Every structure is written in C-alpha cells, then in structure tokens.
C-alpha cells in the first residue's frame, strides 16, 4: 500500500518550533538538526522531492502554494505523478479543511469578514478546485489502467434467459457448483489455493496474500487490531485522527480497511452534532449558522471541527485505499495464468449442472419465459432480486415434493 504521511492536527502558524535531535557528528558538541522550512517549495527540486516523502506538513504547504499559482519545472510531475498523487490529494484535503476552519474562526470571532478571512476564502477555493482536478486525474488513470487490462468496461447485464437460468441454477446449488469448479480446475492444472471459492472480502484478500498476489504480511500488530472489540477499535481510530503526526499505519492493512472505513463513518456520526455539522458527507460551512456564540464557545466547537475534519480526511483516504486494493486484486487475478482456466472451469460447471438437473433448469426457464420479448431474450418488468426469490421458492417446493415422494417409496 502507499506510504502514509505524518500530519499534525495543530496548525503550522500555531505550532511552536521543535528542533529535532539528529545524528551525532564527528567532533565535540556537533549535532545535526533539521531546521524547519517556512517555504519548502523554494528548495532545489531534488531536496523538495526528498522532503515531501517524509513531511506531510511540508507537502501540504507545497500543494497549497501550487494550487494558488506556484509554477516550477517538474513540480506538476512531482506532486501529481503516479507515485505521489494519492499523498497530494490527502494533503489538499487537509489544506482545504484547514483554510475553511481558520476562515470560520475569523468570521465568527470578529463578526465580519476580515482581510485575512477573505484571503483564506480565496485559498480555500483554489485548493478545492485543485483537489477536484487531482481526483479527476486519478480517476482517469485508474480507468485507463483497468481498461488496458480488460477489467473495464464491465460487461453489460445479459438479457439472455439461458445464461441467466444457468447462473441462477448455480446460485441455487452453490456447494455442488463449487465442487464441480474445483474438480474441473484441478484437472486443468489449477492450484487448489487459486480455485478456492470466495464468500467474503476477507477471504478474497487472504487468498491474494496466500497466492503472492498481494504483499501484506499479517503481523502481530495487525492481528491485535483485528481482535479489538468495537469500542476499543473506535478509540483507536479517534486517537489516530487526533494524533496525526504519528499515524497508525496498521489501519491501512487490507484486512482492516473495510472495518476502518465503517467505524470512521460511525465516529463521524457520533461527533457531527458537537462539531456543528448537520451531516457527515463533508465539512459544512459554519459561518452560515446564525446562532450567537461567545469566543470560548467558538474555540470549543472549532476544536471539535478539527477532529471531525481529520476523521473526514481519514475516511476519504480509507475509501481511496479500498478502491486501490480492489483494483490491485482484480489486476493480479487477471494476470495470473489460472484466471482463464478458472473461467473455463466455471462455464463447464454450469453446463454440467444443467445436464444433472434439467427439471430445475427448466423450472427457472419457465419463470423467465413470461418476460421474454423473443426466444432467449429478456426484458424484466420486476426487480431481478424479487423474481429470483420467487424462482428459488418454487425450486424449494420441487425439492420438498421430491423428498416426500422418495419417503413414500
């Protein structure tokens, strides 16, 4: 997975300078220290490239300057090339929230729009526009890569009643179908670990790890995280969001990602009201509220909004990581030689099910026939799920009648 960047919830203009102790050099009393850079975008390009790899706040400064008009040869590629665009989107999200909350404080505390608040509003709009542009670039690259690999475009839903009847028969008899696929795949030389049926996302991730398609070792830290109950896990993610200078990278493990996203949503719902946000989709503009507040109340609610914004940022990151993970697994599966063999084994398994259970297959076809515009072509006028439930209920009755007849013999 991509590199995580440190993020300090305290604002750069409020944060005291902390000189970090470095390695002791040869010579009495000599020590290397990193001097904070107030304008990192002015560094030579090779130094800037190193800096944005290790310092989230410096990256946030650079992407903000770039969004507000800074241009340098090579800067676009550095910030929005394939290696850094995810991190730059994360930094732009932080910078957008930062400008909004600082602007809100200026407006609410002063009671009017000061020059500083106006400047922050201009920066906020520029950063938001650049964020949307970066998200568009990332989406275009993703679509291009998946299209080149044959994953996209997804095939349209079939209107062939014969194919749908085969699929529903396999869904009705899952154990038998899975056994057929495994046997046929083994005959074709597919390893058992590649042919195992996937019933859940964790099983899919585990298979990809076991097959070497995904490098994500299951460490003791990750195991401990997976074993946490809901309350302890939520405390962990809130602590991570509030302590952004030292992010909890175990939350980015593929087996944790979906739970992280879901509990971030729960945490956002729990804090939204105290943060003055009517929803959890994005950071609502607090200056539109007309309720009078004291300076102490404003500071308190803006502190909650900083945490709310950090949780929003984390949820956006988790969704990007989940998308990247799903894309990566799809690409890895298609590149593996077993993919084509498994597809063929699946088709053969459906054909064998039809041969073994012609009465069940014909029952499904009879249900579908009323929606055919011509032989083999469907135009459903009811939800597919509803129709499938009706069909399976009829198949259950057939199976029950068959058992009763066998018992009477």
Amino acid 404: pLDDT: 77
- Rounded to 5 degrees, φ, ψ at 319 are -65, -40
pLDDT at residue number 85: 97
In this prediction, residue 287 carries a pLDDT of 87
Question: Per-residue pLDDT for 58 more than 70?
Answer: yes
Q: What percent of the chain has pLDDT over 90?
A: 70
Distance CA 117, CA 67 (A): 18
What does the pLDDT read at residue 36?
53
CB-CB contact of 324 with 156 (8 Å):
no
**For the whole prediction, is pTM greater than 0.85?**
no
Phi, psi of 366 (to 5 degrees): -65, -40
pLDDT band with cut points at 50, 70 and 90 for residue 46: very high
Is the per-residue pLDDT at 4 higher than 70? no
Using pLDDT thresholds of 50, 70 and 90, give the confidence band for residue 353.
very high
User: Looking at the predicted structure, is the pLDDT value of residue 95 above 70?
Assistant: yes
In the prediction, which pLDDT does 245 show? Answer: 65
* Arithmetic mean of pLDDT, 109-114: 71
**For residue 21, what pLDDT band results from cuts at 50, 70 and 90?**
very low
Question: For 184-198, 279-293, 298-312, which range has the lowest pLDDT when averaged over its residues?
Answer: 279-293
Q: pLDDT of 273-283, one tens digit each?
A: 999 999 999 99
d(CA 315, CA 308): 11
Mean pLDDT of the chain: 88
Confidence of residue 242 (pLDDT cuts 50, 70, 90): confident
- Round to whole Å and give the CA distance between 103 and 124: 9
pLDDT at 230: 94
How many whole angstroms separate alpha carbon 218 and alpha carbon 257? 13
- The per-residue pLDDT for range 138-190, each reduced to its tens digit, is 999 999 999 999 999 988 888 999 999 999 999 999 999 999 999 999 999 99
**Predicted pLDDT at 22:** 42
Would you state the structure tokens that stand for residue 93, as one six-digit string? 């999200």
Alpha carbons within 13 A on the beta-carbon side of 221: 9
> Where does the pLDDT of residue 409 fall: very low under 50, low under 70, confident under 90, or very high at 90 and above?
low
Helix (H) or strand (E) holding 45: helix 45-54
Q: Where does the pLDDT of residue 370 fall: very low under 50, low under 70, confident under 90, or very high at 90 and above?
A: very high
Distance of CA 100 to the CA centre of its chain: 25
How long a stretch of residues is the chain?
A: 409
- pLDDT tens by residue, 374-405: 888 999 999 999 999 999 999 999 988 888 77
Average pLDDT over residues 44-64: 92
pLDDT at 34 over 70: no
pLDDT at 288: 81
**Cα–Cα distance between 235 and 148 in angstroms, integer?**
42
Confidence band (pLDDT; 50, 70, 90) for 14?
very low
With a cut of 50, say whether residue 133 has pLDDT above it.
yes
């Amino acid at each position: 997975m991509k590199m995580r960047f440190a993020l300090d919830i305290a604002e750069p203009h409020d944060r005291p300078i902390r000189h970090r102790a470095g390695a002791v050099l040869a010579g009495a009393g000599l020590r290397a220290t990193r001097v904070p850079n107030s304008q990192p975008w002015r560094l030579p390009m090779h130094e800037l490239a190193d800096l944005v790899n290790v310092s989230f706040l410096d990256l946030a400064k650079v992407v903000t300057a770039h969004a507000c008009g800074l241009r340098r040869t090579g800067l676009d590629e550095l910030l929005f090339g394939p290696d850094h665009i995810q991190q730059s989107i994360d930094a732009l999200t932080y910078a957008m929230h930062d400008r909004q909350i600082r602007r809100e404080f200026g407006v609410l505390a002063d009671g009017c729009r000061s020059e500083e608040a106006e400047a922050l509003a201009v920066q906020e709009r520029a950063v938001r526009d650049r964020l949307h542009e970066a998200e568009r670039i990332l989406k275009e690259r993703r679509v291009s890569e998946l299209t080149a690999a044959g994953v996209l475009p997804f095939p349209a839903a079939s209107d062939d009643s014969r194919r749908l009847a085969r699929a529903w028969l396999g869904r009705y008899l899952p154990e038998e179908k899975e056994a057929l696929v495994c046997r046929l795949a083994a005959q074709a030389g597919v390893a058992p670990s590649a042919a195992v049926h996937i019933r859940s996302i964790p099983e899919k991730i585990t298979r990809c790890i076991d097959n070497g398609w995904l490098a994500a070792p299951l460490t003791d830290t990750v195991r401990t995280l997976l074993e946490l109950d809901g309350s302890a896990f939520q405390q962990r993610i809130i602590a991570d969001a509030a302590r952004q200078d030292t992010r909890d990278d175990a939350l980015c493990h593929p087996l944790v990602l979906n739970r992280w996203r879901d509990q971030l949503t729960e945490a956002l719902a729990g804090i939204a009201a105290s943060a003055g946000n009517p929803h959890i989709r994005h950071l609502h503009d607090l200056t539109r509220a007309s309720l009078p507040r004291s300076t102490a109340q404003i500071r308190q609610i803006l502190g909650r909004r900083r945490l709310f914004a950090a949780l929003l940022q984390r949820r956006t990151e988790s969704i990007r990581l989940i998308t990247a993970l799903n894309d990566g697994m799809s690409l890895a599966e298609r590149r593996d030689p077993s993919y084509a063999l498994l597809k063929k084994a699946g088709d053969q398994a459906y054909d064998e099910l039809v041969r073994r259970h012609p009465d069940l297959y014909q029952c499904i076809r009879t249900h579908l026939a009323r929606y055919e515009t011509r032989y083999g072509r469907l135009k459903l006028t009811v939800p597919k799920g509803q129709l499938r439930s009706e069909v399976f209920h009829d198949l259950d009755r057939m199976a029950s009648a068959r058992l009763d007849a066998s018992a009477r013999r």
